[in-house]
Amino acid sequence: MSAPTISLEGLTSATGFDELLATARSGGCASSTCGVAGKPEDMDPAVWDKIKDHPCFSEEAHHFFARMHVAVAPACNVQCNYCNRKYDCANESRPGVVSEKLTPDQALRKVIAVANEVPQLSVLGIAGPGDACYDWKKTRATFESVAREIPDIKLCVSTNGLALPDHVAELADMNVDHVTITINMVDPEVGAKIYPWIFYDHRRYGGIEAARILHERQMLGLEMLTARGILTKINSVMIPGVNDEHLIDVNKLVKERGAFLHNVMPLISDPAHGTHYGLTGQRGPNATELKALQDRLDGGAKLMRHCRQCRADAVGLLGGDRGQEFTLDRIAGKDTYDSSKREAYRQVVAHERRDHVAARSAAIGMVKAAGSGKSLLVAVATKGGGRVNEHFGHAREFQLFEASPKGIRIVGHRKVEQYCVGGWGEKATLDGVIAALEGIDIVLCAKIGNCPKDQLAEAGIRATDAYGHDYIETAISAVYATAFAIGPLAATA
Amino acid sequence: MAFKIIASQCTQCGACEFECPSVAIKFKGEAYVIDPNKCTECKEAADTQQCVSVCPVPKTCVPA
Ligand code: SF4
Ligand code: SF4
Ligand code: SF4
């Protein structure tokens, strides 16, 4: 059985790919923006160069590029209350699902297999279970062998930060230019409620002392990374009643120390996962609480809104995990790296992106200029490429955009159970989808049948496929214009 | 005396293996195992048994 495709339709489908490639090649780079496609006006070109192909560090890139994680570093030196290591690490992967642990050699094989099959692949990350910096030998062995085979792949690690200062120099030597540190507190009193113990310098520490050491090491690691120009993303797990308010201080402090992005993720806690929080009934935040906190943090360190809390063995675009297609037993043993697909794809993207950027800034400009003072929450079904190009019934998640006087920006995503399987829509599933879309003003998709459309309407949610295959922002600006009776985009262009 | 690992509890994270100052821990077949002839209970090397201190699962590294 082939897993549902998440390829960029039209970009990578057999004919579309060749066509687009032809366009991209004949495109001619007369424009002065060639080569810096997509760079926001206020961004340093050197920084842009580092993030432009990184789906997690750049919102814009996440439409085009894919990441993969390999779980090669299972040992850890910190115990978090939201993690049960008998199962998996909840830091960077959804708990309760055991990831495939790999040796560095197996990881290399897997990366090559994926690079040959998934042209969007641009980033290899090591992110739990375990800690990439603590289980350092395996991390290093993996990076070294992958970089030898596929020199242009970007390497990144996620870490709790405790062992990070010991390896910053080596990370820099290996050209790792993206690091994620999970920082849940800057006050050891708060930390003591999150971390029962750490293992540091040959002994186990608990309580405030443990949290203080962890905090100091995290700050030191962040400063060292900043000093070397390595981009650092901070992940924080939002734990209601424990660190929710406190994350405002975290945001401020990490920004001062040069963090590039701040990503606030909801605590996932379920008694079945056997974590301390799960067992003690600590709840996670709901979508509204999460968004409210993220909105309050706006203006501090730049917030990441498109994180998917990926599994530690995730493969593919952020919106769709293809990890199950690439388990060890499914990949051939002797694959050698073939760069042709990835190279061809990059050309297509370079072209498509310039287009997208222009369309996007026109659309955002229009919404800003409209001066309506109103905002609209839009759910978009997309397979990537920055377009409204997924059928309503095929979507396994909707990306959430907000159109407001501030422009158009991604504010999150809602996961749903795929409603239409093999051409049949299940009523019960549709109810679930409708519940997940609570609070949304309008749903944009490539196609939707009358029946689900009517039922959505009954629940007060409009849905339309009128903008199928348009760029997301273009479609949203058109919807915004209609909703608030503003002149359409064409009039200003 | 020596320590041993209760295999049914072990998550196979391998942390004990690289913390053991006596190189007494190895992955054998299906599980991590402590070689009783090599284990010194960390007597000279550290204040606490390193495998016990680093292991994420309580009562997994125990006196044999
Ligand atoms: S967990 Fe978040 S940061 Fe890590 S790869 Fe997934 S989306 Fe990116
Ligand atoms: S007690 Fe010390 S010497 Fe013995 S296995 Fe554990 S870490 Fe190694
Ligand atoms: S530290 Fe504990 S869980 Fe990890 S391998 Fe050793 S005995 Fe197993």
pLDDT greater than 70 at residue A344? yes
What are A33-44's pLDDT values in tens digits? 333 345 666 677
Q: What is the mean pLDDT of residues A45-65?
A: 76
- Most confident range, picked from A52-66, A241-255, A445-459: A241-255
Residue tagged 């200062």 (tokens):
A165
pLDDT greater than 80 at residue A424? no
Length of chain A: 493
pLDDT greater than 70 at residue A438? yes
pLDDT at A24: 41
The CATH code of the domain at B3-63 is: 3.30.70.20
Q: Which of A77, A85, A202 sits opposite B11 (nearest CB)?
A: A85
Q: Which atom of ligand 1 sits closest to the CA of residue A92?
A: 1
State chain A's mean pLDDT as an integer: 81
Interatomic CA distance for residues A109 and A250, integer angstroms:
39
pLDDT greater than 70 at residue B16? yes
Q: What is the mean pLDDT of residues A71-85?
A: 88
Ligand 2 centroid to residue A121 C-alpha, Å: 42
The CA–CA distances, whole Å, from A307 to A167, A195, A317, A470 equal 26, 23, 11, 23
pLDDT at A417: 82
Paired strand residues for B8: none
pLDDT at B42: 95
Q: Which atom of ligand 3 sits closest to the CA of residue A85?
A: 3
pLDDT greater than 60 at residue A32? no
Q: Which helix (H) or strand (E) holds B34?
A: strand B31-34
Q: Residues of A at the B interface (Cβ-Cβ below 8 Å)?
A: 74-77, 79, 85-86, 101, 129-130, 134-135, 137, 199, 202-204
Q: Which of B12, B50, B56 sits opposite A76 (nearest CB)?
A: B56
Q: The pTM is what?
A: 0.77
pLDDT at B60: 94
Q: Cβ contacts (< 8 Å) between A77 and chain B: which residues? A: 15, 54
The answer, yes or no, to whether any atom of ligand 1 lies below 6 A from the CB of A308, is: yes
Among B6, B23, B40, residue to substitute to test ligand 2 (most atoms within 8 Å of Cβ)? B40
User: Looking at CA atoms only, how far is residue B8 from chain A in angstroms?
Assistant: 11
Ligand 3 centroid to residue A134 C-alpha, Å: 14
The answer, yes or no, to whether any atom of ligand 1 lies below 6 A from the CB of A352, is: no
pLDDT greater than 90 at residue A380? yes
Among the bound ligands, the one closest to the CA of B48: 2
Q: Cβ contacts (< 8 Å) between B13 and chain A: which residues? A: 74-76, 85, 129-130
Q: Cβ contacts (< 8 Å) between B11 and chain A: which residues? A: 74, 85-86
DSSP character at residue B16 = H
Ligand 2 centroid to residue B64 C-alpha, Å: 11
pLDDT greater than 90 at residue A99? no
pLDDT at A13: 41
The CA–CA distances, whole Å, from A48 to A30, A224, A228, A357, A363 equal 21, 21, 16, 14, 22
Q: What is the mean pLDDT of residues B22-35?
A: 92
pLDDT greater than 90 at residue A246? yes
Interatomic CA distance for residues A126 and A402, integer angstroms:
32
Phi, then psi, of A56 in degrees rounded to 5: -90, -30
pLDDT at A491: 39
The CA–CA distances, whole Å, from A77 to A104, A204, A320, B19 equal 20, 9, 31, 11
Q: Which atom of ligand 2 sits closest to the CA of residue B25?
A: 5
pLDDT greater than 90 at residue B32? yes
pLDDT at A462: 93
